[in-house]
Structure 1
Amino acid sequence: MRLPAENIKAAREVQLVDFLNTYRPGELVRKSRDEYCTKSHSSLRITPSKNLFHWCSQSKGGRGALDYLLTVEGMSFRSAVMLLNEMEFVPFQQARAAAVESSRTREFTLPRPDKNTQAATAYLMHRGISPKVLRYCVDSGILYQTTRGNYRNCVFVGKDEGCVPRSAFQRGCQGTYRGDVTGSQKKYGFLMQAENPDCDTVELYEAPIDAMSGATLRQYTDIGKWRSVHYLALSGLNYLPIDYFLQQHPQVKNVVLCFDRDEPGLRFAETVAQRLAERGFNVEKRLPAVGKDYNESLIWYKPKIEKQRGERV
């Protein structure tokens, strides 16, 4: 399937320095007022004012984050475009240049909630999410339902340390619609808190449904109580929520990376693991056992768990 022109255009507009600061934290090294190199490549010269880079030792160069991913990191064109669209590629959806939009201040307002969550809970239960996990998310105010035109959407909410909503991501209950709510601040991820405030472990996922899937798998397979760890969804391959969460939870020492089993997810896991290990965290990379992501893994395992337990779960 060909990439839509809107997605490619959005990827080409992402500034290289913005990309590195967000997805490769600590990689940039300032050489002068308007020149950087990177920790990985001392001969790579980046000029932010022109959005250009030149890799002296390889006699290669380019413009912007897309050329950097293709030339320096060797990523495929499709994977690079998907990554720069925050891994939320949907063929019929208008592309979002998130790194460009991040520099613009826009008012954040949550969509108007519906009176019930029937369509959202039915959709998520169809995706395998357990009623217990759903009830927790709804009761905690991090999941609700909204209607736009004739379509109902799930709204996944990210809150700050004072429990004030600061970001939200919508997923259609029908079709393929998905997208951030205007003005969302990307450092506030979708967080399911551990029951014990002194919990020292967090599991990191790319998307809210994957985080809910990980929690459901833990509940169904009786690996202790399902709320024995924190579950944080980053809404893409986004480092900002990781830093914010760890600042707010200094007791956390163990980080489990539950990213997708694809090229961008694996690369991001390597980067995050290295950065966190350098900061003294215990890091485990835990790929989905089956399929590309944890929701696919849940859908595959659920009927087998039901059969083993001899009851509906």
Structure 2
Amino acid sequence: MPGVSKEQIAAAKKMTAIEFLRRYRSADLVKSSARGEFELRSHDSFKINGESSVWHWKSRGIGGKSALDYLVHVEQCGFVEAVRMLCDEVPGYIPVAHEEVEQKRPEFSLPPAARNNARVVAYLCGRGISPVVLSYCVDRGLVYESLPYHNCVFIGKDENGTARYAALRGTYGQGRPFKAETPGSDKRYGFCIPPLHPSTTVAVFEAAIDAMAEMTLSDNTADKYRLSLGGIYAPKEENVEIKTPVALVEFLRQHPDVDTIQLCMDNDEPGRHAALAIARNLGGKYKVSLCLPQIEGGDYADLAKQIKQARCACTRHRTELAR
């Protein structure tokens, strides 16, 4: 198939849907009334067996077993994008021989830009991102709205300022948002918000929106680097080595003056597991601290949205009292 090899497709199919949901959608996965069965908070007619991984979305009349089936049919991710995402975010499933695959890596190019960023602004502000942080990122060419689907594009650049990576997030509010990476993206170059002045500290996040959210919650202060890894790999099996993510390795190579790392992963089992592994890997050379968001099972974007909603509710209450 154009864009992905047979080896990549076979590798992507090895991950089961229940394994993917437990690792990357744990906050959305809840036990069902049936024994051994789970469902999604976002789609209560979606049922999946905790052992066999066989799932069925009753309201849509579709089903499957693999994570690839789930991404394509439930989250409506394109087949090629889903294969690449599983291969990139779950490196343990990638075949050892990479040479043929690397030769076929598609050329990277950014999606065309929309005339303005209206939908992206509405989407990110609705998620609790402040206009100050949004403008800071847009002005530095890190965020924009694409055509024809009006996705939010988060850009990762190399040391020369050339775009080498792009994460796409849907801006429509219905159902789970579309998530993918632009074909040819190089995960070594993660989305990174630079500080206003030189800094020796980097805060590390799983997703770009988390980096923007934490900056919002820090009074919009551009006081350090804020790096997104574009996802994590945190297997539940014991004695499985978790390597330092390539985006962080490349960032530290480019910034030898950085001596402090703040790990701001999601406050769920995979996030905590990955943060502890990175701390073990780098603790001997850097000052490493865990700075997980104070929201169980959530991330900084969830926290920012929660705080925004609380403030809006408070404002409405005050307005009603003043009438």
Distance 2:130 2:23 in 1: 34
Match of 2:266 among 251, 260, 263: 260
Percent identical among aligned pairs is 34
Q: Partner of 1:286 in structure 2?
A: 291
Using the TM superposition, give the Cα deviation of residue 281 of structure 1 relative to its aligned residue in structure 2, in angstroms: 0.5
- Is 1:130 matched with 2:135? no
Contact 1:211–1:232 under 8 Å retained in 2: yes
Match of 1:172 among 170, 173, 185: 170
- Is 1:237 matched with 2:180? no
1:95-244 → structure 2 map (5 Å cutoff): 95-96=82-83, 97-99=86-88, 100=94, 103=102, 104-148=104-148, 151-174=149-172, 175=174, 176-197=177-198, 199-219=199-219, 226-237=221-232, 239-244=245-250
> What's the TM-score once normalised by structure 2's chain length?
0.65
Using the TM superposition, give the Cα deviation of residue 290 of structure 1 relative to its aligned residue in structure 2, in angstroms: 1.8
SS in structure 2 at match of 1:108: coil
Distance 2:262 2:10 in 1: 32
Q: Partner of 1:276 in structure 2?
A: 282
Alignment gaps of 5+ in structure 2: 1-6, 27-65, 89-93, 234-244, 319-323
| Change beyond 3 A, Cα 1:78–1:119 | closer
| Change beyond 3 A, Cα 1:14–1:273 | farther
Alignment gaps of 5+ in structure 1: 1-8, 16-63, 68-74, 220-224
Using the TM superposition, give the Cα deviation of residue 162 of structure 1 relative to its aligned residue in structure 2, in angstroms: 0.6
CA displacement 1:261-292 (0-9 Å, x = unmatched): 222212111111111113x1011111111241
SS in structure 2 at match of 1:111: coil
Letter in 2 for 1:188: Y
CA displacement 1:59-109 (0-9 Å, x = unmatched): xxxxx8x69xxxxxxx96743587998xx9663324233344974422001
Contact 2:142–2:155 under 8 Å retained in 1: yes
Q: Number of paired residues?
A: 236
| Change beyond 3 A, Cα 1:218–1:252 | same
> What's the TM-score once normalised by structure 1's chain length?
0.67
Using the TM superposition, give the Cα deviation of residue 12 of structure 1 relative to its aligned residue in structure 2, in angstroms: 6.5
Distance 1:129 1:112 in 2: 24
Distance 2:152 2:19 in 1: 32
Contact 1:234–1:241 under 8 Å retained in 2: yes
Distance 1:185 1:250 in 2: 21
Q: Partner of 1:29 in structure 2?
A: none
RMSD over aligned Cα atoms: 3.3
Looking at secondary structure, tell me which structure has more strand per residue.
1
Q: Which runs of 4+ in 1 moved over 4 A?
A: 9-12, 75-78, 80-85, 303-308
